[in-house]
Structure 1
């Protein structure tokens, strides 16, 4: 994995149209190595919006959080690879059989370098809401580490997890476990609808391998300047 901050920055294309996504990719691709396409943009524009990222020479993080029976996930992963996904997400709660099916699909393709990351606990969930929703009486961090350990055993390259839980994951699973960290905000930014957030510099110091940044860049008055600031703070 590259040590260059720009190659570890994933800009979230949390926009509603092909044209908006294309404009951001064209302006930001000199400064960010990755772009994330999630369910809102993908369900509106389909695979053609993924082509925008690939044409720019950037890498594609397809964040559709696959969570289904193993055979369905096999087909979804195969299709994701075909449209150029360099990284993709699956819900860790799908279990070892589902995650293993995804790994087998990647290994049997000509895209064995594709990165599979499991989603642990969504970053909008506070500890209180997590416990109330799932009937737990514990810390989110414990659940995240447990899911991360299971995901690694099933063949995932790593996990998506808040930087708040990042140190615990690295302690438990070591440096080889890739951690993709959303919920990144500049010091002057608000938390929006996420509760477990952190600054770029702190996330890198804690061991994050990739940082996902959306609104602080794409909603800025000058997205290019904001993107460059995030990269600078990652390397500080």
Structure 2
């Protein structure tokens, strides 16, 4: 994989059997996996334990958004299960993000990344929420807050990655979900991008779900994502 961008496969499935099948199909092509709400509420920490047994890196993407004490407890619990990276909502505020970072520091390599604006939101949806600014403006505002809070990175679309790269520390992580190959249906990902665009814009991690997990040959699609990044 390119030194600039790492592939993260989103395990948007319901059962441990599906996880095992995908991990077997992908083999050494993929080291990094993301567990979200669907799998976590279905299988609990069992899926985390399985991935760690396979020596995989685990991103627990629960987008924590609560009072600082509750987030502290959740991050500690994730750390005890061996999670390598956990997400919080940047809109939860600086105190909450600082609490998450402090809890993560109890574990040697655990990182905290802050979600800025989900890739399913466009300008119209932003206005409905009372955010009378562009998605990019909100992403920049929340990124600056995440940096001040000590977070290790942010989650944002590939469209905003280039702007983020110019305002964050050198080792700051930029995780870009909504990655689609050129011919893929964007689905509910309003602000999506291709692997090459995300890599060129400075993304450190590319999250790919449906294009890989729904493919007849998941490993082939994963290799194509990697190739597009390396050739960008």
- Could you state the TM-score of these two structures normalised by the residue count of structure 1? 0.94
User: Looking at both structures, which has the greater relative contact order when contacts are Cα pairs under 8 Å and sequence separation is at least 6?
Assistant: 2
1:61 aligns with 2:56: no
Q: Give per-residue Cα distances to partners, 1:39-91, cap 9 Å, x unaligned.
A: 11110101011112111111000011111111111110000001111011000
1:213 aligns with 2:212: no
Note the 1:44-59 alignment, pairs <5 A.
44-59=42-57
- The alignment partner of 1:172 has SS state of coil
What is the count of residue pairs matched by the alignment?
231
What is the rounded CA distance, in whole Å, between the counterparts of 2:178 and 2:169 in structure 1? Answer: 22
Q: Give per-residue Cα distances to partners, 1:173-193, cap 9 Å, x unaligned.
A: 243321000010011101011
Q: CA deviation at 1:4?
A: 7.2
What is the rounded CA distance, in whole Å, between the counterparts of 2:133 and 2:62 in structure 1? Answer: 28
8 Å CA contact 2:4, 2:202 repeated in 1: no
What is the rounded CA distance, in whole Å, between the counterparts of 2:225 and 2:26 in structure 1? Answer: 12
Match of 2:147 in 1: 152
Of 172-181 and 67-76, more deviation after overlay is shown by 172-181
User: RMSD between aligned alpha carbons?
Assistant: 1.5
1:183 paired residue among 178, 186, 198: 178
1:130 aligns with 2:126: yes
Match of 1:90 in 2: 88
What is the rounded CA distance, in whole Å, between the counterparts of 2:119 and 2:138 in structure 1? Answer: 13
- Shift in alpha-carbon separation, 1:29–1:91, aligned structure 2, 3 A: farther
1:33 aligns with 2:28: no
Q: CA deviation at 1:226?
A: 0.8
8 Å CA contact 2:179, 2:192 repeated in 1: yes
8 Å CA contact 1:73, 1:102 repeated in 2: yes
What is the rounded CA distance, in whole Å, between the counterparts of 1:137 and 1:122 in structure 2? Answer: 16
Match of 2:104 in 1: 106
Match of 2:16 in 1: 18
1:199 paired residue among 189, 194, 197: 194
What is the rounded CA distance, in whole Å, between the counterparts of 2:201 and 2:4 in structure 1? Answer: 16
What is the rounded CA distance, in whole Å, between the counterparts of 1:80 and 1:193 in structure 2? Answer: 28
Gap runs ≥5 in structure 2: none
Match of 2:112 in 1: 116
